[in-house]
Each structure stands twice: as C-alpha cells, then as structure tokens.
Amino acid sequence: MNKIPVGRTISQTYGFAIARFLPILGAIWLPFLAIGVVAYFYLLPALASFPAIFQDLAQHKAQNPQAPYLPPGLGSAIGRIFLFELFVLIIFPVMAVGVTKEALGLRRGPRLVYLAIGKRELLVFAGFLTIIALYFVAVVAMVLVGGIAGAAIGVGMAGNSGAHVDPVALTAKVTAVVRPIMLVFYLVILYFFIRLTYFMVPITTAEGRFGVWRGWQMTKGNFWRTFGVILATFLPLTIIEYLIWFAIFGAGMFKMVLNQQLHPELAAAQMGAMMQAVVHYAVYSWLFALVFAPLGYGLMFGQSAFAYRALVPPAPE
C-alpha cells in the first residue's frame, strides 16, 4: 500500500486520542510540567517587563523623535524569550516520541510517566532544527525576491516619469506586486513543511533514524490525503478551543485591542494590566491546558503514526 487511507486514519486518530487519554497524559505531563515551571519563573518576568519597556520607548520617542534608542531591558527580555523557545524545542521531542510510541504500540515501562532523552529524541530535535534552518533560508530568498521586485518597479516608475517618484504610488504598486509573491511563498512553505515533517516523528520513533528526507519520500503522492487528515483532526479542535477562549474572555480582549488603537497613550498601562492578569492566572491556565493537552497531542502525533503504520506495517515477530 502506498496511499494513506484517509477515513481509517482519521477514525483511528480520534479513537486513540480519546480512548488512550490517560496513557497520553502519562507520556506528556512531566515534560509539560517542566515547560510550565520554566515559563512561570523565567519567561513571565520577561513578558511582564514589556509594558515598562514600551512606555520608556514611547517617552523617548516623544522627547527625541529622531534619536535612536534601545530601552535597557529589551535585550534581556528578548534573550529570555529566545532561550525559553530553545528549551521548549528541546523538550518537545520528548513528548512527540512518547505519544508516538504509544500510538505505534512501542512504549515500554510505566504508563504514569515518561521522560526520556535518547537517540530518537535527539534525532527528532535535529529534524526540527533542520526544518527551522530551511525556513530561514526560504525567508531570506523571499526577502531578496521582494527587494528585487520593489527595486525593479521603482526603476521602472522613475524611467517612465523622468522625475521624482511619488512614494505613495510606489508603495501601492510594490504592495500590489509583492503581496501575491508572499501568498505564493507561504503556500509553498506549507507544502514543503507538510511533506518534510508529517512522517518525521513516526519514522524516527519506529526506525531509529533521521526522518526528514525519508518523510519527503513517503508523502510523495499523498500530499492531499495528508492535508485532508490534518484538516479533519486539527480544525474541529481548533474551533472548540477558540469557542472556549471566547466563552471565558468574551469580547474583552477585542475591546482592549480597540482601545489601544484609539488611545495609544494608554497602551502601556493596559498591557501592564493584562500581563498582571496573565501572571495571576498562569497556574490555572497551565492546568486548563494540561486537561486538553492529551487530546491535542493525541491528534497531532496519532494521525502521522497511524498513517505511517498504514504505509509501513510492523515486521512480523
């Protein structure tokens, strides 16, 4: 078989995420806790400093609009965010491999906890780093293409008018040309991202090898089937999460954003109040996220595991 059975994969994925809720929870709760602790004690203080940073920046701009200025705490806050993202990137493969082992029937040991950093986790981490590097290369290429297109348009307009080019007209024309380029770019990125990552974790988990390039081979002729499975498993959960989010926060968040646009002088104070609320409710938010995490991770990694197993049946014992 070289085609992913869409209906069967979707059915198996939902069945796995629901029926294996507790084993999935056992596979993720300890790494999830580690991320939550680091976020609370390391990341949140950095985020809480941004309102003061933005207020400092706004005051300096009002007093010296032409002078460049870098608030003293900005570099430290950005550095903390970067290190936290790196920590999550290191821990995430542990959850990915643990849940995938559960889906493939390869998980051994206690079901109540899982925390392993071995060959498979390191290979998945290397796979994520490879994807990120390829993405940055693609972004640089897009910026170069957009810059060349903008320069060509500017030269063409200057040649046609023979005089000073209207910056408003130039901006409008460049936007009209660059926007479709960006749309095509993101569609191409989506295509390559799915082709390269969909089977990466189950390949590494089942076969113990780097899965990015083999995943590209396995998704050949299966892109639209893969895309259909992703939509069927992620879209309903995403809609439910947004509905729950709206039921909890209501229209308050939208009103806050609108007030910040209408009264930018109050933006720093409003952001500060929002960050205080985030810090205050951080533990409750983490517990809420943990309740839904087994469903989310079960759908995320279960679908690729069952699709992989459909294409690569287990070897007879």
Counted domains in the chain: 1
Looking at residue 165, its pLDDT comes to 61
pLDDT at 7 over 90: yes
Amino acid at the residue 184: V
Q: Is the pLDDT confidence value at 269 over 90? A: no
Q: How far is CA 28 from CA 140, 257, 316, in A?
A: 35, 34, 30
Q: Is residue 213 part of a domain?
A: yes
Instruction: Report the distance separating Cα 144 and Cα 166, nearest Å.
Output: 23
Judge whether 1 lies within some domain: no
Instruction: Say if 107 falls within a structural domain.
Output: yes
Q: How far apart are CA 275 and CA 289, in angstroms?
A: 18
CA atoms of 132 and 86, how far apart (whole Å): 12
Tokens 């007879």 locate to: 316
Residue 212 one-letter amino acid:
V
Distance between CA atoms of residues 99 and 201, nearest Å: 10
Q: What is the pLDDT of residue 75?
A: 83
Report how far residue 227's alpha carbon sits from residue 9's, in angstroms, rounded to the nearest whole number: 12
Q: What pLDDT is stored for residue 60 in this prediction? A: 73
Range of the domain at 102: 6-311
Q: With respect to residue 68, please indicate whether it lies within any of the assigned structural domains.
A: yes
How confident is residue 271, by pLDDT bands cut at 50, 70 and 90?
low
pLDDT digits (tens, 9 = 90+) for 53-80: 777 777 777 777 777 777 777 788 889 9
pTM of the model: 0.82
Q: Within a domain: residue 160?
A: yes
Which among 96, 107, 115 has a CA at the least distance from the CA of 301?
Answer: 96
Q: Which of 17-31, 88-102, 240-254 has the lowest mean pLDDT?
A: 240-254
**pLDDT at res. 67:** 73
Do 247 and 28 form a contact (C-beta atoms < 8 A)? no
Report residue 130 CA to chain centroid gap.
Answer: 15
Are 38 and 87 in contact, with CB atoms under 8 Å apart?
yes
pLDDT grade for 163, boundaries at 50, 70 and 90: low
SS (H, E, C) the chain: CCCCCHHHHHHHHHHHHHHCHHHHHHHHHHHHHHHHHHHHHHHHHHHHCHHHHHHHHHHHHHHCCCCCCCCCCHHHHHHHHHHHHHHHHHHHHHHHHHHHHHHHCCCCCCCCCCCCCCHHHHHHHHHHHHHHHHHHHHHHHHHHHHHHHHHHHHHHHHHHHCCCCCHHHHHHHHHHHHHHHHHHHHHHHHHHHHHHHCCHHHHHHHHCCCCHHHHHHHCCCCHHHHHHHHHHHHHHHHHHHHHHHHHHHCCHHHHHHHHHHHCHHHHHHHHHHHHHHHHHCHHHHHHHHHHHHHHHHHHHHHHHHHHHHHHCCCCCC
Cβ partners under 8 Å of residue 234, min gap 6: 299, 300
Confidence of residue 243 (pLDDT cuts 50, 70, 90): confident
Q: Is the pLDDT of residue 317 over 70?
A: no
What mean pLDDT comes out for the span 271-289? 74
Residue 298 pLDDT > 90: yes
To the nearest whole number, what is the mean pLDDT of the chain?
Answer: 83
CA distance 247 to 262: 25
Distance separating alpha carbons of residues 73 and 52, to the nearest angstrom: 9
For residue 124, pLDDT beyond 90: yes
Quick check: is 316 in a domain? no
Give the gyration radius of the chain's Cα atoms: 24
Integer Cα distance of 168 and 195 in angstroms: 40
